[in-house]
Amino acid sequence: MEKFVDTQQDHFVNLILKLLSNDEPLDTIFKTLIEFFEEQNPNTICSILFLDKNKKRFEKVYAPHLPDFYNQALPHLDIGESAGSCGTAAYTGKRVVVVDIQNDPLWVPYRDMAKAANLAACWSQPIKAQNGEILGTFAIYYVEPRPPLERDIKTIEQAAHLVSIILKYFENRSFAQKAQERISLIYESSIDAMWLIDIEDNGQTYRFKSINDAFIAVTGLTRAAVLEKTVEEVLPPTSIPLVRAKYAEAVSTGHVVDYLEVAPLPAGVKVGQIRVKPIKDEKGVVTKILGIAEDITERKRIDDRLKESEADLIYAQHVAQLGSWKWEAKTDTVHWSQEIYNILNLDPKSGPLRFTDQSKLYTEESWNRLKIAVEEAMATGGSYEVDLEGRSNVKGPRWFVARGEVIEKDPQGRPTRLAGTLQNNTERKLLENNLKAALNARDEFIAVATHELKTPLTTLQLALYSIVKALDGEIDKDKLISRVEKAKLQGDRLEALIKNLLDVTSIGAGKMRLELKPDVNLSSLIQNIAKKYEYDLTKSGSSLIKNIEPNIIGLWDDFRLEQVVTNLISNAIKYGNGKPIEVHLRRSGQNAILEVRDQGIGISEDKQKKIFERFERAVSETSYSGLGLGLWIVKEIVTAFNGKVWVTSTLHKGSSFSVELPIKAQG
């Protein structure tokens, strides 16, 4: 450019620059340029021609003062080694100076055309791009034959150079425009909110300069509420410290800064994944910030909900003690939920066990059943449910229920995915076992009870029968009395048995109630009971030694006390081996102490606690009849009186049952 600028042409250069800065089109600029050169050189006609893409012909012609027919013919002429001045210059890339068209070999094909256009001389200068590519030509025509002066040559050189610069400028401008357009297209069509901030007052003020449509849609703010406003005027106060800090970081580091912002906005509470980019001016100073925000509110909500339902599932599995698993055939991978590790007492860090390794968890019998069930489900595409017993040497629950099914098959019908659950079934299994044991005990009890009731009943019936028979004939009065007494005894025994049976149900249902009376004389109560047992004592061969402190009187329930004493004495007779039995009663402070001792079969130490439980016996039912209820009832009653009962015994030597009763029992 500098070469071209001299005093003569200052005005022209300014004019061209003005046209360029006004964004005038190329046509206008070239027209102005041609007119300037034509004015500078009277009797000349100037042309600017541009080659087509293939560099074969001229495609564009700027020559306002050449005749129309000439301009129209130009684009159809091929360039070449001798194709007039312009065609040859464009072909060779060298200036072509034709002084006399009519007599120049280069012009042979176009002589007539030139004549008709009244053109006699033509000097043509190739227009070249910076890289040397030939773009076209700048030419000056004369109406008379004439050679150029040095000044003329300089003129066409400078003109061609100027055209090349103008073209380059236009190319750059259109490139910049396109880039600008592309950027605005992205900016405007982006679904992410975008904004441009001006940094003012040395970084003190951040002012919104532009926002895109998405910004409005996402925030619910209007353009008027944002543009030319500071961040403090636009954003919620809770966001300001974060936003200022991040903008400042972007400015100071010159780098992109990412952050997450949760902001209550007119469009609702929004969660944005934000990225701010500092933009530098030509001096390298950050003067603007470009912001872009991805609205992740919905994603965050879904994420949160997913996390919540995951937590719910984990909790539900934990409460149900039921874990879930999945198996992928393709990769042979197993996935266990957290609860499976809990149930099996395994560390989640060590990962799930492969199916075959699970054999070590269960008893051999259980493992075999599980294996068969799984194999069958795999073969049929069905499901299974197997009760499993854990190995006793493995820590944790003992019983499990394993369920599973094929949930996906390949086109050949082979299972590709299995899923299922493992549940801790220990509590249920124990309950079930207890229930089974209770049912067995009940059946046994009914059998024993029936037998127990039947024995005295048969004896009673026999006694009554013989009484009836005796009444018919002559009978000795004493004999009759003895038979009636025998019958009565069996009746008493039956009554005691039935009382015990009734107590099982009523005490078991928590119904034992004491009927306390103020002056219950325990001493005489024991004496009376002892009398009742005279017959049984005689029969068993045991003697009864009584050591009873008289008149121990308390606030008691006499009916219940009678049961206690009866049960203890009858047991002493039953298990006493016909040896002497002692009954002791004494006062000790505020308590009465009753002791029933025998020298019978005794009770082994391990059974001594158990015998106070319901249906528990330390002897076989074939050698000694009984229901296993007496001592349980004794314990229940004594406990209700706030007292204690215990046994000291040596096997084969005898037992001593002691009862301690508060004299003023509180019912």
Nearer Cβ to ligand ADP (393/623): 623
* Helices 26-40 + 150-189 axis angle, to 10: 170
CB of 444 to ligand ADP, least distance (A): 12
Number of amino acids touching ligand ADP (CB under 6 A): 21
CB of 424 to ligand ADP, least distance (A): 37
**Listed ranges 166-174, 417-425, 434-442, 614-622: which one lies at the site for ligand ADP (CB under 6 A):** 614-622
| 601 is a contact residue toward ligand ADP (CB under 6 A) | yes
Distance of alpha carbon 402 from alpha carbon 355, whole angstroms? 12
| 96 is a contact residue toward ligand ADP (CB under 6 A) | no
According to CB under 6 A, which one of 83, 211, 276, 611 is a site residue for ligand ADP? Answer: 611
**Listed ranges 32-40, 348-356, 487-495, 569-577: which one lies at the site for ligand ADP (CB under 6 A):** 569-577
| 603 is a contact residue toward ligand ADP (CB under 6 A) | yes
CB of 571 to ligand ADP, least distance (A): 4
Sites for ligand ADP among residues 437-456 (CB under 6 A): none
Nearest residue to the partner ligand ADP, using Cβ = 626
**Listed ranges 171-179, 252-260, 330-338, 565-573: which one lies at the site for ligand ADP (CB under 6 A):** 565-573
According to CB under 6 A, which one of 337, 342, 490, 571 is a site residue for ligand ADP? Answer: 571
Nearer Cβ to ligand ADP (156/601): 601
Sites for ligand ADP among residues 170-199 (CB under 6 A): none
Nearer Cβ to ligand ADP (121/601): 601
The H-or-E segment that residue 211 falls in is: strand 205-211
CB of 546 to ligand ADP, least distance (A): 17
If you count DSSP H runs as helices and E runs as strands, how many of each does the chain have, helices first? 19, 22
Sites for ligand ADP among residues 403-432 (CB under 6 A): none
C-alpha distances (whole Å) from 637 to each of 48, 545, 641, 644 are 130, 25, 6, 10
Look at residues 613, 601, 608 and name the one whose alpha carbon lies nearest to residue 647: 608
**Listed ranges 47-55, 60-68, 251-259, 597-605: which one lies at the site for ligand ADP (CB under 6 A):** 597-605
CB of 443 to ligand ADP, least distance (A): 17
Nearer Cβ to ligand ADP (520/572): 572
**Listed ranges 24-32, 367-375, 411-419, 570-578: which one lies at the site for ligand ADP (CB under 6 A):** 570-578
Contacts with 152 (C-beta within 8 Å, 6 or more apart), sequence order: 41, 123, 140
CB of 656 to ligand ADP, least distance (A): 8
CB 407 within 8 A of CB 420: no
3-state helix, strand, coil in the chain (%, to 5): 50, 25, 25
Q: What are phi and psi of 405, to 5 degrees?
A: -155, 160
Nearer Cβ to ligand ADP (119/581): 581
CB of 520 to ligand ADP, least distance (A): 23
According to CB under 6 A, which one of 572, 594, 638, 663 is a site residue for ligand ADP? Answer: 572
CB 373 within 8 A of CB 386: yes
**What is the side-by-side strand order in the sheet with 415-424?**
333-336, 322-328, 415-424, 399-409, 383-389
Distance of alpha carbon 485 from alpha carbon 157, whole angstroms? 159
CB 623 within 8 A of CB 635: no
DSSP 120-171: -EEEEEEEE-TTS-EEEEEEEEESS--PPPHHHHHHHHHHHHHHHHHHHHHH
Nearer Cβ to ligand ADP (334/611): 611
Other beta carbons less than 10 A from residue 615's beta carbon: 15
Nearer Cβ to ligand ADP (425/563): 563
SS3 string of 435-501? HHHHHHHHHHHHHHHHHHHHHHHHHHHHHHHHHHHHHHCCCCHHHHHHHHHHHHHHHHHHHHHHHHH
Nearer Cβ to ligand ADP (80/580): 580
CB of 565 to ligand ADP, least distance (A): 13
CB of 441 to ligand ADP, least distance (A): 13
C-alpha distances (whole Å) from 241 to each of 235, 237, 247, 288, 408 are 11, 8, 10, 19, 53
| 659 is a contact residue toward ligand ADP (CB under 6 A) | no
Report strand pairing: 383-389 vs 399-409.
Answer: antiparallel
| 119 is a contact residue toward ligand ADP (CB under 6 A) | no
**Listed ranges 106-114, 184-192, 269-277, 611-619: which one lies at the site for ligand ADP (CB under 6 A):** 611-619
Nearer Cβ to ligand ADP (568/665): 568
Distance of alpha carbon 576 from alpha carbon 565, whole angstroms? 16
Nearer Cβ to ligand ADP (288/597): 597
CB 574 within 8 A of CB 539: no
| 533 is a contact residue toward ligand ADP (CB under 6 A) | no
Helices (H), 331-472: 338-344, 364-380, 426-472
CB of 622 to ligand ADP, least distance (A): 12
Long-range contact set of residues 619-628: C-beta below 8 Å, sequence gap at least 24: 619/575, 621/448, 624/574, 624/575, 625/448, 625/451, 625/452, 625/455, 626/448, 626/452, 626/574, 627/445, 627/448, 627/449, 627/452, 627/497, 627/500, 627/501, 628/448
User: Per-residue x/- mask for ligand ADP, residues 615 to 634, rule CB under 6 A?
Assistant: --xxx------xxxxxxx--
Nearer Cβ to ligand ADP (49/601): 601
Nearer Cβ to ligand ADP (340/631): 631
The H-or-E segment that residue 515 falls in is: none
According to CB under 6 A, which one of 87, 278, 554, 600 is a site residue for ligand ADP? Answer: 600
Other beta carbons less than 10 A from residue 412's beta carbon: 6
CB of 568 to ligand ADP, least distance (A): 8
**CA 296 to centroid of chain Cα atoms:** 19
Two tokens, residue 452: 């127990």
According to CB under 6 A, which one of 47, 317, 425, 655 is a site residue for ligand ADP? Answer: 655
**Listed ranges 184-192, 420-428, 482-490, 610-618: which one lies at the site for ligand ADP (CB under 6 A):** 610-618
According to CB under 6 A, which one of 91, 325, 362, 575 is a site residue for ligand ADP? Answer: 575
CB of 636 to ligand ADP, least distance (A): 11
Q: Convert 584-613 to b/e letters by CB count within 10 Å (16 or more is b).
A: bbeeeeebbbbbbbbbbbbbeeebbeebbe
Nearer Cβ to ligand ADP (556/632): 632
CB of 558 to ligand ADP, least distance (A): 21
Contact set with ligand ADP (CB under 6 A): 567, 571-572, 575, 598, 600-603, 611, 617-619, 626-632, 655
